């Protein structure tokens, strides 16, 4: 994959020529360098050889499922992966995100939304080390001091609520599945207890959201998990 002017390298993985052409046309904005792969094995080879900055991945590949491609990539790389798939079922989205995908768009999708998701993923990938202070709108989280403020006033969180917020802050804009959050905060024994997560997210929202019923920061991805709005 040829690199020019330090433009992000995008690998498009889809076995449908029409989709390949559509994406190449849509992404021909002058800000990316594009390459393509038509199946899982070619995608893995390109991920190793070309080192793309972001991968757009279809799940329905002819030689292996896209989820398996994600798992194999995650064995050695944290390159952002955005799934583009016709699969609309929640369990398909959860499997892809749990395997390590950064985001998931269901076909058909709008080009402006795709570009926005790509730019957000690329920004996140540049933050190799979490910033000691995370700010979004009126919320500030100091990871060094374990201090949370809202509109300049300190917010008192329980240890679990802080650990939950720190997890979101460490992955701004990324969809975190219920199972991933439960494993990280409470351990594998709680993966089948989503009510524990719902209660704690609700408590956290009541402390940092102006209107917990219409959250600005921690937003719900229905049936999948949560996302911290990073912008």
- Per-residue pLDDT band for 39 (boundaries 50, 70, 90) equals very high
Question: Domain end: 92, 126, 160, which one?
Answer: 126
Residue 226 has pLDDT above 80, yes or no: yes
- Per-residue pLDDT band for 127 (boundaries 50, 70, 90) equals low
Per-residue pLDDT tens digits for 46-94:
988 778 999 999 999 999 999 999 999 988 888 999 999 998 899 999 9
Per-residue pLDDT tens digits for 4-27:
447 899 999 999 999 999 999 999
What is the tally of structural domains in the chain? Answer: 2
Q: Per-residue pLDDT averaged across 133-159, rounded?
A: 90
Task: Provide the pLDDT for residue 1.
Answer: 40
Q: Kindly state whether residue 205 falls inside one of the protein's structural domains.
A: yes
3-state secondary structure 43-83: HHHHHHHCCCCEEEECCECCCCEHHHHHHHHHCCCCCCEEE
Same domain, 109 and 60: yes
Distance, in Å, from the CA atom of 209 to the CA atom of 202, rounded to the nearest integer, reads 10
Q: Kindly state whether residue 1 falls inside one of the protein's structural domains.
A: no
What is the full DSSP assignment across 134-147? Answer: EEETTEEEETTTTE
Distance, in Å, from the CA atom of 146 to the CA atom of 60, rounded to the nearest integer, reads 43
- CB 90 within 8 Å of CB 223: yes
Q: Kindly state whether residue 4 falls inside one of the protein's structural domains.
A: no
Same domain, 147 and 111: no
Distance, in Å, from the CA atom of 129 to the CA atom of 115, rounded to the nearest integer, reads 24
How open is the CA angle 29-31-32, to the nearest 5 degrees? 95
Q: Which domain holds residue 222?
A: 133-228
């Amino acid at each position: 994959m040829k690199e020019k002017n330090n433009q992000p390298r995008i690998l498009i993985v889809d076995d449908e020529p029409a989709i390949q052409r559509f994406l190449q046309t849509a992404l021909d904005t002058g800000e990316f360098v594009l390459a393509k792969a038509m199946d899982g094995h070619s995608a893995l080879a390109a991920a190793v050889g070309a080192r793309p900055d972001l991968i757009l991945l279809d799940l329905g590949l002819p030689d292996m499922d896209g989820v398996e491609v994600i798992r194999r990539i995650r064995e050695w790389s944290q390159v952002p992966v955005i799934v583009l798939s016709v699969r609309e079922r929640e369990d398909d989205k959860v499997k892809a995100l749990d395997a390590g995908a950064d985001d998931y768009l269901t076909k058909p999708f709008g080009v402006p939304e795709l570009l926005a998701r790509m730019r957000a993923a690329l920004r996140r990938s540049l933050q190799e080390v979490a910033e000691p202070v995370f700010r979004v709108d009126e919320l500030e989280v100091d990871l060094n001091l374990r201090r949370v403020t809202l509109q300049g006033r300190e917010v008192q969180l329980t240890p679990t609520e802080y650990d939950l917020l720190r997890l979101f802050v460490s992955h701004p804009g990324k969809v975190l599945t219920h199972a991933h959050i439960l494993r990280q905060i409470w351990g594998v024994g709680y993966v089948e207890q989503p009510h524990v997560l719902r209660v704690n997210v609700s408590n956290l929202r009541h402390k940092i959201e102006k209107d917990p019923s219409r959250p600005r920061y921690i937003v719900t991805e229905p049936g999948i998990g949560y996302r911290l709005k990073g912008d």
